[in-house]
Chains A and B, each alone.
With several copies, the nearest count.
Chain A
């Protein structure tokens, strides 16, 4: 198991993965780079770089707010991908997964998307509204281009769990409970048994997302899965610092960010 982890060889760890999610351009492209660095400093293994979207069906209010801020700042799929070289320049070396809804992808075109991902050095792509049945062409392209197409699996995926898990690349995104992104305080027995099932079929690390929001969650998840994906909670920490940034105390805000992330991940 877990022999084929990849991200062009950049992900070597297969346990206790910390996969943070930030929205590109929230509140500015420059700050996104700063947050990414801090996240890497706190031990992030993969960065999910979210592309803000007008109609983010799979996201809760926290990420919707972040998307609104980023859209106001002029962010787009194209610009988000072009942010990757800037991340590299700033020293972010961990694999970057572009998280985007499908409509912007369709407008750019599949080939063009992968051209851009390659050119800008992004290692993966995740499209939350492109389920297995709609993603064949993209999955094939991703494979050909050696870019990880991240799949999601949910507790109610039922008979599809096996097929999805077996074809997963990079890591498998496990939706721990039904629902959109957000913070929850418990992890149910059903969720745990679901993760167990997924791990049976998956050839890649199984990371759990949707609702991870405290050190206790992180610990719990890591006991049963290979890593955590944290989105809304991180956005909330970013939001906590927005006032300071507005007042010009950016350095202070970033330091607060680092220490909150540290508490979240390391207790």
Chain B
């Protein structure tokens, strides 16, 4: 039996904790207490699962990728279809959980940070559904790049707050959201989008995403009467990965987290936090991150906005250190190739984030035996990435 993490100090082994301005210690305490109470309350569980089912359409399907399996000629490949969630990715599971908690805490205003806009859309969505006011912090540069998602959030009634500090990307939007929360924590709930941030966020987001793994486990047993041999998930902040890994941590199942190698981990342009980063503190949590020799956080790069983050959830840092999870990295080009392959073989256009997990799985599947099985977390759909894909594939498909 593994030790239960996080511990009482909000740590996963050496990582996690609460590295935040004093002003946030109170609100984090309040959140932790509310979360503990909620998770012990069957009525909360019931409401959360009711909304997941009735509103987001859970359980999401487990799809056997027969054509990919035949094509690669190795392990049987299964896909956990988080792309079929309302709004198109796993992000909504967590947003629903936190929004319900916010209501329970009597907070009627939520704030969120977003990079590509997926978590922003999920937050704006639950804000609409549960009658909350919503501010989404988003870097100016990202606002420019993700015009459609910005409009979507506004249509949902959210306010999108442009962030000009730093480089105007996700890291800066997160800083700004935290700053806003510091000043307005009394009546605002900060809805973080991944298993990052100060305790209890990494734990809370994991617990609201573990439904992916819980369902997968049940569905896989039904389908194969065994657990999968390997599970793959892409890792940005790490929420879809923690969600699918967590219920399998104590099983004899190999878990593989896949980071973005961008233009290659031997170039400066990547987002491979565990592969290339070092321990440090980012956004309130001790974990691995990308930084220079002076401890200044550096800008990551990935073609996929959702993986373009210089940190990673502290639980991943722990699972990396203890070697319970293997972490690999995949370049932009490898991800694009895998995306194309899944599209033509299975008729599913995945998010570019997801394609990183696919690429790694497709590398390993042919080397596995035919009675082994693979489960890939299909964290989101590619609709949001069409502009990027057009840039890369327009000529090829003509």
Q: Are A178 and B18 in contact (CB under 8 A)?
A: no
Q: Are A152 and B21 in contact (CB under 8 A)?
A: yes
A44-90 interface with B by 8 A CB criterion: 53-61, 64, 71, 76-78
Q: Are A158 and B165 in contact (CB under 8 A)?
A: no
The listed residue (B18, B23, B172, B294) touching A76 by CB distance below 8 A is B294
With a 10 A CB-CB cut-off, give which of A54, A56, A157, A180 has the most chain B CB atoms: A54
Q: What residues of chain A lie closer than 8 Å to B333, measured between beta carbons?
A: none
Q: Are B19 and A134 in contact (CB under 8 A)?
A: yes
Q: What residues of chain B lie closer than 8 Å to A78, measured between beta carbons?
A: 294
Q: Is A160 an interface residue (CB 8 A)?
A: yes
Q: Are B280 and A106 in contact (CB under 8 A)?
A: yes
Q: Are A54 and B296 in contact (CB under 8 A)?
A: yes
Report how far A225 CA is from B27 CA in the complex, Å: 25
Report how far A132 CA is from B295 CA in the complex, Å: 22
Q: Are A129 and B20 in contact (CB under 8 A)?
A: yes
Q: What residues of chain B lie closer than 8 Å to A102, measured between beta carbons?
A: 19, 281
Report how far A233 CA is from B90 CA in the complex, Å: 44
Q: Are B295 and A108 in contact (CB under 8 A)?
A: yes
The listed residue (A60, A104, A133) touching B25 by CB distance below 8 A is A133
Report how far A134 CA is from B166 CA in the complex, Å: 27
Known: A106-B279, A131-B20, A175-B23. A58 touches B296 (CB 8 A): no
A71's nearest neighbour on chain B, judged by CB, is B296
Q: What residues of chain A lie closer than 8 Å to B175, measured between beta carbons?
A: 55-57
B152-168 interface with A by 8 A CB criterion: 165-166
Report how far A55 CA is from B282 CA in the complex, Å: 8
Q: Is A128 an interface residue (CB 8 A)?
A: yes
Q: Is B186 an interface residue (CB 8 A)?
A: yes
Q: What residues of chain B lie closer than 8 Å to A252, measured between beta carbons?
A: none
Q: Is A245 an interface residue (CB 8 A)?
A: no
Q: What residues of chain B lie closer than 8 Å to A64, measured between beta carbons?
A: 165
Q: What residues of chain A lie closer than 8 Å to B280, measured between beta carbons?
A: 103, 106-107
B184's nearest neighbour on chain A, judged by CB, is A178
The count of residues in chain A whose C-beta lies closer than 8 Å to any C-beta of chain B is 41
Known: A103-B291, A104-B294, A107-B294. A57 touches B20 (CB 8 A): yes
Q: Is A237 an interface residue (CB 8 A)?
A: no
B30-55 interface with A by 8 A CB criterion: none
B285-306 interface with A by 8 A CB criterion: 286, 289, 291, 293-298
Q: Is B22 an interface residue (CB 8 A)?
A: yes
The listed residue (B25, B184, B278, B297) touching A131 by CB distance below 8 A is B25
Q: What residues of chain A lie closer than 8 Å to B294, measured between beta carbons?
A: 76-78, 104, 107
The listed residue (B26, B171, B281) touching A156 by CB distance below 8 A is B26
Q: Are A106 and B21 in contact (CB under 8 A)?
A: no
Q: Are B281 and A160 in contact (CB under 8 A)?
A: no
Q: Is B17 an interface residue (CB 8 A)?
A: yes
Report how far A199 CA is from B183 CA in the complex, Å: 23
Additional A-B contact list (16), CB under 8 Å, known A55-B166, A103-B291, A178-B182:
A55-B283, A57-B20, A57-B283, A78-B294, A107-B280, A131-B18, A134-B17, A152-B21, A152-B22, A154-B21, A154-B26, A158-B26, A175-B22, A178-B183, A178-B185, A178-B186
Q: List 26 A-B contacts (CB under 8 A).
A: A54-B296, A57-B175, A57-B178, A57-B179, A58-B21, A76-B294, A102-B19, A103-B280, A103-B291, A104-B294, A106-B280, A106-B281, A107-B278, A107-B294, A108-B295, A129-B284, A131-B21, A154-B25, A156-B186, A160-B26, A175-B22, A178-B23, A178-B184, A178-B185, A179-B182, A180-B183
Which 10 A-B residue pairings sit nearest by Cβ, starting from the closest?
A179-B183, A104-B295, A156-B26, A107-B295, A76-B294, A58-B21, A54-B296, A152-B22, A154-B23, A103-B281
